Amino acid sequence: MRPGESRLGGTALTLAYDQRTIAENLTVAVPDRSFTVIIGPNACGKSTLLRALSRMLRPSAGAVLLDGRDIHDLPARKVARTLGLLPQSSIAPDGISVAELVARGRYPHQGLLRQWSREDERVVEESMAATGVDDLADRAVDELSGGQRQRVWIAMALAQQTPLLLLDEPTTYLDIAHQIEILDLCARLHEEQGRTLVAVLHDLNHAARYATHLIAMRDGRVVAAGEPASVVTADLVAEVFGLPCRVIDDPETGTPLVVPAARRRATTLAPEPA
């Protein structure tokens, strides 16, 4: 596949829960081998879009295409060998060990007579090493810290060995150091393993720093998509989030850095004195 092409995308999607429509006529493409980040205010439909892209929500109109085919025409197991998902919240069964949980990522590759191949064993070990949880292998998942636990879930998704990996708000509930740790890990997986990553993130500055492709959404529409440097502008942040701000260069990376405008005194709507 040529670079720049897209293996995953949606055309003319209408996304709805029961009667509540979240998005209409939504078209997105995830560039192959990109680290795509979807941003937008609460309830803009970004998590809903991720659910649709991962086959968990069937669009009421339009189609999600994976390698050119409607994702709902493909068998669940086949999709699970191409596209992985780290959900916003998962449940670790009582007392399960790290190695056992990561091993469950091998499910789509296993069968009745192929329950635990050498390949399974090798991939699980590699996944734990790549996420730095190999020395926790025998620990119970319940005993781990939030950051460690998130790395274990990522290891499980890696063990699934999918070229595409979707992450739904992977940094929520983590403190700032662990947020950066998880995002560094994602960037490494993207660069070193050549995986296509799609993540929903809340923090604009994280998105601008780590993404190679940004999709900005508001009210179920894509407002802008492209490289962070061209997408993250003061005008766009005002349009998408309704937040007055300045955008400067991140002194560490040179990527756009959003600095919210200072609180105005008196009425917030008063124009700034010259």
Partner 1 sequence: MTVLRTSWGLSLRFRPRALGVGAGAAVLAAGFGLVALGSGDYPMGPADVLRTLTGGGTVAEQFIVLELRLPRLVTALLVGAALALAGTVFQSLVRNPLGSPDILGFTQGASTGALVVVVLGGSSLALAGAAVVGGLGTGLVIYALAWRRGVHGYRLILVGIGVAAILTGVNGYLLTRAPLMEAARAVLWLTGSLDGRGWANAGPLLVVLVVLAPLVLVGCAPALRMMELGDDAASALGVPVRRLRLVLLAAAVLLVSFAAAAAGPVSFVALVAPHVAKRLTRAPGPNLLPSMAVGAALLVGADLVAQRAFAGHQLPVGVVTGVIGGGYLVWLLAMERRAGRL
Give the residues lining the site for partner 1 (CB under 8 A). 17-18, 54-56, 75-81, 84-96, 100, 104-105, 107-108, 110, 112-118, 120, 157, 160
Q: Is the CB of 14 or the CB of 88 nearer to partner 1?
A: 88
Query: Cβ of residue 48: shortest distance to partner 1, in angstroms?
Result: 13
Minimum separation from the CB atom of position 171 to partner 1 (A)? 17
> Smallest distance from the beta carbon of 237 to partner 1, in angstroms?
30
- Between 45 and 256, CB nearer to partner 1: 45
Q: DSSP letter string over the chain?
A: --TT-EEEEEEEEEEEETTEEEEEEEEEEEETT-EEEEE-STTSSHHHHHHHHTTSS--SEEEEEETTEEGGGS-HHHHHTTEEEE-S---PPTT-BHHHHHHGGGGGG-BTTBSS-HHHHHHHHHHHHHTT-GGGTTSBGGGS-HHHHHHHHHHHHHHT--SEEEEESTTTT--HHHHHHHHHHHHHHHHHH--EEEEE-S-HHHHHHH-SEEEEEETTEEEEEE-HHHH--HHHHHHHH---EEEEE-TTT-SEEEEEPPPPSSSTTSPPP-
Which CB sits closer to partner 1, 94 or 272?
A: 94
Nearer of residues 21 and 90 to partner 1, judged by Cβ: 90
Nearest approach, Cβ of 90 to partner 1 (angstroms)? 4
Closer residue to partner 1 (CB): 90 or 230 = 90
Q: How far is the CB of 182 from partner 1 (least distance, A)?
A: 17
